[in-house]
């Protein structure tokens, strides 16, 4: 066995059905009494219910979180934090809302409680991605890791089927890249394979029966595992491409990850044969890249970046941005191969092993 280093991240996880009822107790566990509830405009009503649960320990709702955590939105939220003398944030929603909580924590040191309603996984990571002037940048620091995460299966029952599928495959992306991360270790490898398998078996069930509690529980369990992978080891090509497409082209986060993942994996396939075998085993197929593409079709996800508004003419600029600054990847990141990868993803062509290569 190769030598490795494993750092366990200091998060408290509360998992189950009906666990939202423990929110006030968890706030008291942190020693906080003036919580601001964060949400997107679409989840303002849900945020208001959370505020009611908090009683006199809740001071208000800020429901202006948006995709890719724009710095200007964070600045407005910080003004509310100051005006209400907030001592904790409670983020309910997906990656957009949890990202805002992290951005506030980075600038204030305030503790966070994250209540995910999707399978994004951001709640388990010390990673913050922010967008400014059309460029999305990321940083990794324990200053943005939520202190407490409440997973309540009941909150996912109303997540639309297609959104469940794309959110779940977004989570799978974290585990896929963790399996060939430069700093992967045996603990994370076990979590990654288990997380992929849990989501792969539950997402098609949810697509056909969104209120299946067993499948929802399995998917949320898988999302927790995959999020832990994302928070524990480094990522590479896939996440770099998706940050480029999200930050510079404003493509939706989960859908973009869902479409790009099979192509990024096919590009890296020659350099990650062991990871390919583990991913294929978790998916129950021989070709991991094709298996991920087929999973997307099984859950009704979009199959091409063109469906998200990414045009053929955008491929050149995206390639330039994605290859501008060097970053680690198990296979060399070459402009010609990345251009081909993005072209295939733009058109939705079925991926083949080494589809991003220079053959």
What's the mean pLDDT in 320-326?
A: 92
Q: Which two tokens stand for residue 117?
A: 């309603």
- Answer yes or no: are the C-beta atoms of 299 and 168 closer than 8 Å: yes
Token pair in block for residue 182: 């430069």
Inform me whether the pLDDT recorded for 35 exceeds 80: yes
pLDDT value at residue 354 = 64
- Pairing relation of β-strands 88-93 and 112-116? parallel
What does the alpha-carbon distance between residue 355 and residue 78 come to, in Å, rounded to a whole number?
Answer: 45
DSSP 18: S
pLDDT in the model for residue 12: 95
**Mean predicted lDDT score pLDDT of the chain:** 94
What is the model's pLDDT at position 112? 98
**How far is the C-alpha of 72 from the C-alpha of 122, rounded, in Å?**
20
Domain annotation for the chain: domains and CATH numbers: 12-156 (3.40.50.1970), 161-347 (1.20.1090.10)
Is residue 358's pLDDT more than 50?
no
Please compute the mean of the pLDDT values over residues 211-235 and round it to a whole number: 95
The 10s digit of each residue's pLDDT in 56-66 is 999 999 999 99
**Over residues 225-239, mean pLDDT:** 93
355 pLDDT band, cuts 50/70/90, is very low
Cα–Cα distance measured from residue 78 to residue 151, given in angstroms and rounded to the nearest whole number: 26
Instruction: Give the chain's length.
Output: 359
The greatest distance separating any two alpha carbons of the chain, rounded to the nearest whole angstrom, comes to 64
At 10 the pLDDT is 84
CB atoms within 10 A of CB 107: 15
pLDDT recorded at residue 279: 98
Instruction: Check pLDDT > 60 for residue 136.
Output: yes
pLDDT of residue 326: 85
Question: Which pLDDT value is given to residue 3?
Answer: 85
Q: What's the token pair of residue 191? A: 């979590």
What was the pLDDT predicted at 120?
85
How far apart are alpha carbons 52 and 63 in whole angstroms?
Answer: 15
Distance (Å, rounded) from C-alpha 256 to C-alpha 206? 20
pLDDT value of residue 357: 44
Residue 359 confidence class, pLDDT cut points 50, 70, 90: very low
């Amino acid at each position: 066995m190769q030598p490795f280093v494993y750092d366990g991240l200091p998060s408290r996880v509360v998992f189950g059905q009906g666990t939202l009822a423990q929110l006030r107790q968890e706030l008291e566990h942190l020693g906080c009494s003036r919580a601001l509830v964060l949400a997107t405009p679409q989840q303002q009503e849900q945020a208001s219910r959370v505020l009611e649960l908090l009683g006199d320990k809740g001071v208000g709702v800020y429901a202006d979180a948006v995709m890719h955590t724009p710095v200007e939105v964070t600045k407005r939220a910080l003004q509310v934090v100051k005006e209400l003398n907030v001592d904790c944030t409670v983020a309910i929603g997906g990656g957009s809302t949890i990202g805002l909580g992290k951005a506030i924590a980075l600038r204030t040191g305030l503790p966070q409680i994250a209540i995910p309603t999707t399978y994004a996984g951001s709640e388990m990571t010390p990673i913050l991605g922010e967008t400014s002037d059309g460029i999305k940048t990321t940083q990794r620091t324990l200053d943005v890791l939520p202190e407490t995460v409440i997973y309540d299966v009941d909150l996912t029952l109303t997540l639309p089927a297609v959104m469940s599928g794309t959110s779940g495959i977004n989570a799978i992306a974290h585990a896929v890249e963790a399996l060939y991360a430069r700093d992967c270790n045996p603990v994370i490898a076990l979590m990654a394979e288990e997380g992929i398998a849990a989501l792969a078996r539950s997402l098609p069930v949810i697509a056909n029966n969104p209120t299946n509690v067993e499948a929802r529980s399995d998917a949320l369990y898988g999302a927790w595992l995959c999020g832990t992978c994302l928070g524990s080891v480094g990522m590479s090509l896939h996440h770099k491409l998706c940050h480029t497409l999200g930050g510079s082209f404003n493509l939706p986060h989960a859908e973009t990850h869902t479409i790009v993942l099979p192509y990024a994996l096919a590009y890296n396939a020659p350099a990650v044969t062991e990871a390919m075998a583990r991913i294929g085993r978790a998916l129950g197929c021989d070709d991991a890249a094709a298996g991920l593409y087929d999973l997307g079709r099984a859950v009704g996800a979009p199959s091409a970046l063109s469906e998200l508004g990414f045009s053929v003419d955008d491929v050149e600029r995206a390639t330039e941005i994605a290859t501008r600054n060097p970053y680690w990847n198990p296979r060399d990141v070459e402009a010609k191969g990345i251009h081909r990868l993005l072209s295939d993803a733009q058109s939705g062509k079925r991926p083949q092993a080494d589809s991003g290569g220079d053959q």
